[in-house]
Amino acid sequence: MSSNLDEAREQVARANRMIANEGVLDAFGHVTMRHPTDPGRYLMSYSRAPELIQAEDILEFTVDSDLVTPTDRRPYSERVIHGEIYKARPDVMAVCHHHDASILPFCISGVELKPVYHLGATMGEQVPFWDARDAFGDTTLIVGKPEEGASLARALGPNWTVLMRRHGATVAGRSLQELAFRTIYTARNAAMQIQAHSLGHVSPLNAAETTLAGNFNLQPGPVARAWEYWSVRLDKAEGTWGKAK
Ligand code: MN
């Protein structure tokens, strides 16, 4: 096994625990990354709560969401969300699917999620809304079939965040670090949009501000700073901060 792959497994496991530690993931949801050397594969844990995931839990899947090596461990039923996005979007290197409590009111009401402060601009200029009923009628709302994942990937289109009716959100990134930044700050933005609305009229950033602020925040400096912050918060929560690894 290459050290590249070992490092990737560590990082994807850490991203799961980190985003869980920030309250966006809970018992459910998942973070994946594209395989570091084989773009036709991605890395994802077996089915367990993100906060618990360790490097050794990470399995390899093809972009058709088939296991590369058979295992007794049960994969997530919603892995097709990830596989179909990797298939449709060669520029996407990492994906997070979650049911964050601040995002859900938008998924339930259909009110548009909009960037209302600078860090929220990283959600992207458009956040499409995907309704599984349009193509599939009544379902469990779980995205478990390849054609459902492909439909969601089409709804995402060239954007970075897609809302899923009465279910949650799926977020894409050009790196694991960018993905963590976008996922966490889009969830923060959702909470602030709701809070600000209770005070009165809320106008979002305009299109130019969204582009400018989004690009500014996604520079390597801010992205690395935020990753380090959430990573140390995770180490503190896990009791490993300041201890030799
Ligand atoms: Mn889900």
Torsion of CA 134, 140, 144, 148, to 10 degrees: 0
15 close to 50: Cβ distance less than 8 angstroms:
no
- How many whole angstroms separate alpha carbon 203 and alpha carbon 129? 20
pLDDT confidence of residue 245: 63
Q: What is the pLDDT, as a whole number, of residue 2?
A: 58
What are the sequence ranges of the domains in the chain?
A: 5-238
* pLDDT value of residue 244: 72
Reply yes or no on whether 78 is catalytic: yes
Question: Which parts of the chain have pLDDT scores under 50?
Answer: 1
Distance between Cα 115 and ligand 1 center (Å): 23
Beta bridge partners of 97: 30, 170
Tell me how far the alpha carbon of residue 216 lies from the centroid of ligand 1, in angstroms.
30
Q: What are phi and psi of 114, to 5 degrees?
A: -130, 150
DSSP secondary-structure letter at 62? E
Please tell me whether the overall predicted TM-score, pTM, comes out greater than 0.95 for this model.
yes
Q: How far is the CA of 221 from the centre of ligand 1 (A)?
A: 31
- Distance, in Å, from the CA atom of 45 to the CA atom of 32, rounded to the nearest integer, reads 8
CA-nearest of 140, 239, 121 to 181 is 121
Q: Check residue 221 and give its pLDDT.
A: 98
Whether 182 and 114 have beta carbons less than 8 Å apart is answered as: no
| In contact, 226 and 180? CB cutoff 8 Å | yes
- Dihedral of CA atoms 62, 3, 183, 226 in degrees, nearest 10, equals -170
- Return the percent helix, strand and coil in the chain, to nearest 5: 45, 15, 40
C-alpha 83 – ligand 1 centre gap (Å): 14
- In whole angstroms, what is the distance from residue 11 CA to residue 18 CA? 10
Specify the pLDDT at position 169. Answer: 98
Identify the H or E element spanning 8. Answer: helix 3-21
How far, in Å, from the CA of 41 to the mean position of ligand 1?
Answer: 21
Give the distance (Å) from ligand 1 centre to CA of residue 164: 9
Q: 236 alpha carbon to ligand 1 midpoint, in Å?
A: 28
Task: Say which of 10, 22, 56, 78 is annotated catalytic.
Answer: 78
Predicted confidence (pLDDT) per residue in 27-80, tens digit: 999 999 999 999 999 999 999 999 999 999 999 999 999 999 999 999 999 999
How many CA atoms within 13 Å lie on the side-chain side of 96? 34
- Strands 41-45, 30-34: pairing is antiparallel
The domain over range 5-238 is classified in CATH as 3.20.130.10: no
CA of 65 relative to ligand 1 center, distance in Å:
16
